[in-house]
A and B are shown apart, each in its own frame.
Chain A
Amino acid sequence: MSAMAARISTGDVAHVARLARLELTPDELERFTEQLGAVLEHARDVEALDTEGVPPTAHPLPLVNVLRDDVVRPSLDRAEVLAAAPAVEANRFRVPRILGDAP
C-alpha cells in the first residue's frame, strides 16, 4: 500500500473522477485508488526493462496509413436518428442547458 500511495493518491483519483464526471463514495475512492495503484505498479515492471534503442510504439498493430477514398456514402435517415434522441426540436437534438463554455 505504501508503494502504491507513492504512485497515486486518493486526491489524484478524485480529480480524475471529477474530470470524467463520476461521483464516487469514500469507499469507492479508497478501492479505486488501490486498484489503479496496482495497475501503475504493474507498469513499473515494464519500466524496469532496458528499452535503449527501441523506437516508441504508437500503436500495437503493425499497420500505418489506413486510409479511405473521399467518396460520399449515404448518411443515416434523419427521422430515424432523431427518434432515438430523448428530446428533439426543429430537427436538432435538444440538450439541457450547458453550464460553462465550449472548450
Chain B
Amino acid sequence: MTVTTTDWETVIGLEVHAELRTETKLFCCCRNSFGEEPNVNVCPVCLGLPGSLPVLNRVAVEYAMRIGTALHCRVQSSIFHRKNYFYPDMPKDYQISQYDIPINAEGWLDLPGGRRVQIERAHMEEDTGKSTHVGGGGRIHEATYSLVDYNRAGVPLVEIVSAPDMRSAEEARAYVDELRSILVATGASDGKMEEGSLRVDANVSVRAKGDGQFGTRCEIKNMNSLRSLGRAIEYEAERQVALITDGGSVAQETRHWDESAGRTGTMRSKEEAYDYRYFPEPDLVPVEPSDEWIASVAASLPRLPAQRRSEIAAASGMGVESESVVTVVRLGLDGYVDAVIASGAGERGTAIAVRRLANEVAAEIGSAAHLTEPAFCRLIAMESDGSLTTAQARTVLRELLDNGGEPDAIAARLGFEAMEAGDLEAVVDQVISAHPDEWSRYVAGEAKLAGFFMNHIKAATEGKADMKAASALLRSRSA
C-alpha cells in the first residue's frame, strides 16, 4: 500500500496494562507468578467457586498509588465494579475492575523529547486466565476447543489510559518506553512486554492536518513488542487514509494485529460491541486512602526517569535529550553512573561512563550482571586518565561483560600498558620522517592528511596510543 501521508495526521491514544509485582493475586492469597505449571495457583476465589469472597491486597493498592503518583495523577477514593461478559478466561463470568471512579485520575507523562501526554486514568483490575486454542492452527475462529489455565486469573493489573495525544508511531513507542521505565522505577511492575506483564492496546485514527475534529478510531490489539506496536500503528494509519481517500469511511471497530502477515484485521465491529452491564461490586467496600497514606507513598517513590536524566545530563555536561542519557536511564544502567560520580569522576569521566554504558554495555545488556560497579568505575578512571585508549577501554569493557574480572588485570593480560609520553613522541616523529612528501603537504595546509598520519601512528603503536594525544602532537609538530 503506498499512500502519501504528508497531508494526514495520525492520532494515537494508548491503553497499557501492567501486571503488578505483588506476591499474591489481587483478591486472594494465591501466588502471583509467571511461567508455572498450569492451574497450580488457583483457589475458590480466583476459580469463582460459589460462596467465595474477594479481599483486596494492600500492596496492590499501594503499587497502584505509586504508579498514579509517578504519573502526576490525583490519587482518590475509589470503588470496584463488575464487568460482566461470558468468556472462559474468567470463571466468575465477570472481571472486577474500576469504572467511573478509578483510584488515579488525570495525570501526565512527559516524553524525553518534550511532548506532554495527558493520562486520563490509571485504575486497578484483575487479569484474566490464559486460553490456548486447539485445532485450526491456534486461530480462535477455527479452533475445535480451548484449554484454560487460571494461574493468571486474578493477578493484579493497573490499566493506564492516555489521552489521544500522540501523533506518530515513534511517539507512541517513546511513550511506552518512558511509561515502562517509570513502572520499573516505582517497583510496581517489571514491565516485561515479552512475558506479557506489559500489554499495549492502541486507539488509532487519522485526520487531515489542521482538522480540529478527531476521525473515527479503531482499537488495535495483540502487539507483543514495541516494534510491532510501531508497525501496527503505521499500517493502520495507512489503511485508514487509503479508505478515506478512496471515498470510503472508517468503521469504529476492534482490530487484531497479525505480526507475521504485517496487517490488522477485524475482530468485531461496534454493532457487536460488548455491553458489559457494569455495576458496583457488592463484595468489596470502597478504598479511601488517607492523606497520610498518599503522602507516605509519594515520599517513598524513588527518583523517576525524567529526574534521573536531568541529573545525569547535569553531571556529564550532556543534553537531557541526548540519546545516550535516555538509553542509560531506560535500561536502568543509571546506578553505574551514580557510582562513577561518587568515585570522584568529573564531568568528562561521567560523560565517558555514559557513552560506554549506552554503547558497549547496552549492546550486551544481558551480560550487565557480570559488570560490578567498582570494576566499571576503575575502567572509567583508566580511560579518563589516559592509561587506556578508547579502543582499549572498549576491549577491556567487553571482557568485563563476558567474564567479569578486574580492569587492571585484564589490561595487563592484553598488553595494554599505557605508552609513555616520550614513546609516543618518538613514534610520531618516526612516522613524520618516513613520509616527508605527505608531511610537507600537511604543513602547507592539506588538513585531510591528518587522517593518513593518524592511521600510521595507530598501526605503529598497535592501537595502544592515546589518539587524542597523538593528534595534539601532530598539530604541535606542524605549527
Q: List chain A positions with a Cβ less than 8 A from chain B.
A: 15-16, 19-21, 58-59, 61, 63-73, 75-76, 78, 81-82, 89-98, 100-103
Contact = CB atoms under 8 A, between A and B. Distances in A.
Interface of B: 22-24, 29-31, 37-44, 47, 55-61, 77, 79, 84-89, 101, 128, 131-134, 140, 143-150, 254, 256, 267-268, 272, 274-277, 280, 282, 284-289
B24 A70 contact: yes
Nearest to B85: A103
Main secondary structure of the interface of A (DSSP, over half): loop
A49 B41 CA distance: 49
A1 to B, nearest CB: 26
Nearest to A69: B58
Given A70-B23, A70-B57, A89-B147, A103 B87 contact: yes
A54 B478 CA distance: 89
Nearest to A66: B285
B277 to A, nearest CB: 6
Contact of B287 (A19, A21, A64): A64
Contact of B277 (A19, A64, A82, A93): A19
Contacts of A98: 87-88, 131, 133, 140, 143, 146
Contact of B22 (A15, A16, A70, A95): A70
Given A59-B280, A64-B286, A70 B59 contact: yes
11 contacts: A65-B289, A66-B285, A68-B56, A71-B23, A75-B43, A76-B44, A76-B47, A78-B39, A82-B39, A90-B38, A102-B87
Contacts of B268: 100-101
B39 A92 contact: yes
A4 to B, nearest CB: 21
Given A70-B22, A70-B57, A97-B146, A103 B274 contact: yes
A66 B150 contact: no
